[in-house]
Amino acid sequence: MDFINVIAVLVGVLLVVIVLLFSSKEKIRTFFQKKNGKSLKTDSSKCAENLLKSIGCTYTREKRKDDLVEFRFNFQNGHYAMRIFPHGGEVVLFFQGIAEVSAEKIDLLRVTCNRVNNIVLCHTVYYAYSTDKKNMIVHVSAPFFFTDDFLRTKDAFLVLLEGFFDVRRIFTNEFSVLEKDSTSSLPYDIEKNHLNYARENALLDSLELFHIVDGERLKNTANESFNYRSGAKLPISVSSLLATVFQINQPSIIDITIVTDSIRTLSSVEEIKNFNLLSSLVAEKEEGKPSFITDVVTLIVKYKYEKKGNDAQRIATIVLKADKETQECLYVVAAVADVNAEAGAFEVPGALKSSSFYLAYDKGDNEQRLQELAYMRRDAIDKIFTGKQEELTEDQQMLALWQNEDIAQKVYWGRKCFRQERYYEVIEYLTPVWNKMLTYQLPKDEAAQNTLFLTAFYLGSSYAELELYEQAYYYLDGIFHLRDIGVSIAYVDTLVNARDFRSLYVINTLIKELREKYADGVGHMTGVEESFMNFLRRRWAYVHVELGDLASAERVYKKMLDEPLNADFALNELAYIQKLRENNSISLPDDGSEVSLKDLDI
């Protein structure tokens, strides 16, 4: 027995040594993968060398980071790269620089690549910026695998290389056709359409507020990934800006003091009327090449307006700050404030009324914008006459609907500005459209009705972003009956953010309607509906915090801690509730919220 025990101990020690020797999983795998003293990675590299030599290619070999091996070689005047990835022998071939396209045609290039990738099987066409960012370089890639049968591997390799040339030919032909047709017709760009819808949904999400500890309310900015802008130049007058932001009927400007590194004052009627707000921050030093001339400008505006016979003078401050520059536009953050010394019946005396938003100065000229619109309209009309209405974007539907070019332009740019978060400019564009449409009876044509409803949606959402909730309610309440999810989200957020007493009733109604839709057990909520339900539950709890019913809100938020889509929001709100309790905030008595909570199963 002693001999057996000694053997057992020796075996145990040997196993410990082996484990220590191969403490890394990587070492263990490499050890067992070795064959005749060479690893699989080495075998793959050797196979690649033999393969390239067999077809008469000269090559260079480079070992890159993470043990990645890259071969560069030429084949029939084409420049290729072969990358061999470690741990599995994965091989990817790249045919580089098959085309070079101006960066200004990136939309056309994207459509071409999507079409080619739908046609070919194993190859993938993609593009990247050139070093100077002025052009896009087009490349092709394809996966490849080595086998034990060298002849079969060689045949497959040659077929794959020939395929690269076929893909290049298809790409060149497709791009040429689309480029030629683009002079009279825009290609159908499904990717851009989906991106626009995603962008609008992200902007809707940004209206959802959450509490912070000091009692303020901030935007829920979980969807900031869609942060791109481009747009048209819109001369902005000080008078129109004050009228929109402060809802003043025809303010009369007395003078405007412009403060930069110097101070100057505009006082004549003609100067004030022709003054473009953004011209104090942006100037065209060269023809057609505007640029920022300073970082910050402050405007002190003296104005008055008649109100019940009172002609009191008031002062507003407008701060303009240079923000971002793109290939098309210069973007400015505008902050406007006015101490409300002469308060109205529904205003707090001495309260500071303020708002901040984006404005943009377009680098292009009017002729370019008119050509773009004409181009879109012709394409829309051509598709209607050729029976391709399903390919029309909503923008094109609106452009084709209106024979009045001025209305068509305003609709197009208004929608574009909304996606770019230029809410003030949305109002400037679409308010005349709305007023024009109201001069007619409600149109029976579906496309015309769609134009009316979408115009109301964009106007309502833009007013809500400027925190002008009464105006937002006017537009959104008129289309709430459609029960469109996007409209419902904007409508609920407007009521909640305005602390409107109807908000809880509307939320409860929408939750019940959505639950009743699937009450018979047939079917399930779509992903969009589930997201909408989560939104309604968050708003329900948020309103109860505002009402002081912390217990009901806390119950819902604790449920949400186990829900990935709601956990972060709930955690923040629970911290806020805890802070309220620490500050001895008083919760309202139970007013039946417990019953509504049970009935709705929030």
- Segment-wise mean pLDDT, segments of 10 residues, the chain, 602 residues: 54 51 43 41 74 86 79 84 75 86 80 81 82 83 83 85 87 84 56 51 54 52 30 66 81 88 87 85 74 89 69 83 80 84 52 80 70 75 77 72 72 83 88 78 63 87 89 90 89 90 91 87 82 90 90 90 85 87 59 45 64
The predicted pLDDT at position 362 comes to: 78
The predicted pLDDT at position 492 comes to: 92
The predicted pLDDT at position 593 comes to: 43
The predicted pLDDT at position 240 comes to: 85
Hey, which residues does 490 pair with through a beta bridge? none
Q: What is the DSSP letter of 183?
A: T
Hey, which residues does 357 pair with through a beta bridge? 334
CA 7 – CA 223 distance, rounded (Å): 65
Cβ contact 511:533 at 8 Å: yes
Burial 580-589, CB ≥16 within 10 A → b, else e = beeeeeebee
Residues counted in the chain: 602
CA 241 – CA 358 distance, rounded (Å): 12
Cβ contact 460:490 at 8 Å: yes
CA 51 – CA 73 distance, rounded (Å): 12
The predicted pLDDT at position 38 comes to: 42
